[in-house]
């Protein structure tokens, strides 16, 4: 399966890892060409983020492993786009 | 954080301050009796031995306390991230990161503990003056540190200075009574 885009719901503790640590870990995964990390929620102890990853043949297990190796946690996969071309979500 | 116009990274200030205060106070406790009761100046070998002992014990205490604190933070974060397996974060890069941070803090704390003990005591070994000069220099150093810290945290300069000087005098009295060396 040629995974082209993943949007993940990722949480981390406020202090560690830093967003840069997380970005570096994601960037090192096979197939990843671009990353967007958007902070969507901050409370006293944790930070919730939408992590959007695009590329060709993204190695999903390696991606989750890379994120979790930094100490962040993948809560859910909120969007997955795959195939020979990128298909945007269609709102009806 | 700025102390006397010198900028220190915030994460290292704790190690620096604890090292410096521990070094000066431990030196006063260990050497107080020797300096006050003896009419001779303190010799350089003894100064180095006291400084080394102060630095090593301070560094070990700092490492244990800091590593436990940082690992405790990871456990705390695990609960907030709803991780079901306890100790999970310690197996990630965070575990290695907090270990390195604790070691880095230990090195800083140990180095400043060594300097905190060495500089006042060395003044008695190399500078001409009364036999109680090292005690005066140590207490003066604590006072100056109090001024610097009060300014850095926008606290009451007089209270900080008096508190640190009082701690120095108190531990000197303890050192004289115990006469460790």
Q: How far apart are CA A57 and CA A59, in angstroms?
A: 6
Distances (CA, A) of B93 to A34, A71, B102: 22, 6, 14
User: Contacts of residue A25 in chain B, CB cutoff 8 Å?
Assistant: 93
ipTM, two decimals: 0.71
Span B143-164, mean pLDDT?
A: 94
**In this complex, is the C-beta atom of B80 within 8 Å of any C-beta atom belonging to chain A?**
yes
pTM, rounded to two decimals: 0.80
What per-residue string of b and e applies to A32-44 under the rule 16 or more CB within 10 Å gives b? beebebeeeeeee
pLDDT at B80: 86
pLDDT digits (tens, 9 = 90+) for B9-33: 777 899 999 999 999 999 999 998 8
Chain mean pLDDT for chain B = 91
Domain residue ranges in chain B: 2-178
pLDDT at B102: 95
Report the residue of A12, A16, A68 to disrupt the B interface, i.e. the one with the largest count of B CBs within 10 Å.
Answer: A16
Q: Give the distance, in angstroms, between the CA of residue A37 and the centroid of all CA atoms in the same chain.
A: 7
CATH number of A3-82: 3.30.70.1340
* pLDDT level of residue B134 (50, 70, 90 thresholds): very high
State the smallest CA–CA distance between residue B78 and chain A in angstroms: 8
pLDDT at B37: 84
State the smallest CA–CA distance between residue B81 and chain A in angstroms: 7
Please provide the distance, in angstroms rounded to a whole number, between the alpha carbons at the two ends of chain A: 27
**Could you list the pLDDT tens digit for every one of the 92 residues in chain A?**
899 999 999 999 998 899 999 999 999 999 999 999 999 999 888 999 999 999 999 999 999 999 999 999 999 999 999 999 989 988 88
CB A20 within 8 Å of CB A53: no
Query: Residue A47 pairs with which residues in a beta bridge?
Result: A12, A42
Asked, as a colleague might, if the bond just before B75 is cis with ω within 30 of 0, I would say: no
pLDDT at B53: 95
């Amino acid at each position: 399966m040629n995974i082209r885009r993943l949007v993940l719901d990722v949480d981390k503790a406020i202090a560690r890892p830093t967003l840069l640590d997380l970005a570096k870990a994601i960037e090192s995964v096979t197939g990843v060409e671009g990353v967007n990390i958007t902070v969507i929620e901050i409370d006293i102890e944790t930070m919730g983020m939408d992590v959007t990853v695009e590329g060709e043949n993204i190695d999903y297990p390696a991606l989750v492993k890379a994120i979790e190796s930094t100490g962040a946690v993948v809560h859910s996969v909120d969007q997955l786009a795959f195939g020979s071309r990128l298909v945007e979500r269609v709102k009806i | 954080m700025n102390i006397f116009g010198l900028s220190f990274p915030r994460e290292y200030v704790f190690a620096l301050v604890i090292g410096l205060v521990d070094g000066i106070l431990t030196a006063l406790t260990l050497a107080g009796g020797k300096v006050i009761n003896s009419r001779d100046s303190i010799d350089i070998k003894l100064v180095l031995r006291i400084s080394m002992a102060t630095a090593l014990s301070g560094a070990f205490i700092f490492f244990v306390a800091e590593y436990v604190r940082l690992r405790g933070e990871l456990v705390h974060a695990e609960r907030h991230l709803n991780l079901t397996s306890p100790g999970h974060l310690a197996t990630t890069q965070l575990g290695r990161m907090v270990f390195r941070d604790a070691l880095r803090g230990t090195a800083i704390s140990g180095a400043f503990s060594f300097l905190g003990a060495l500089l006042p005591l060395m003044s008695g070994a190399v500078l001409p003056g009364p036999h109680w000069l090292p005690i005066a220099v140590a207490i003066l150093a604590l006072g100056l540190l109090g001024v610097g810290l009060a300014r850095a945290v926008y606290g009451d300069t007089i209270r900080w200075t008096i508190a640190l000087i009082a701690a120095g005098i108190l531990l000197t009295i303890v050192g004289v009574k115990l006469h460790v060396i």
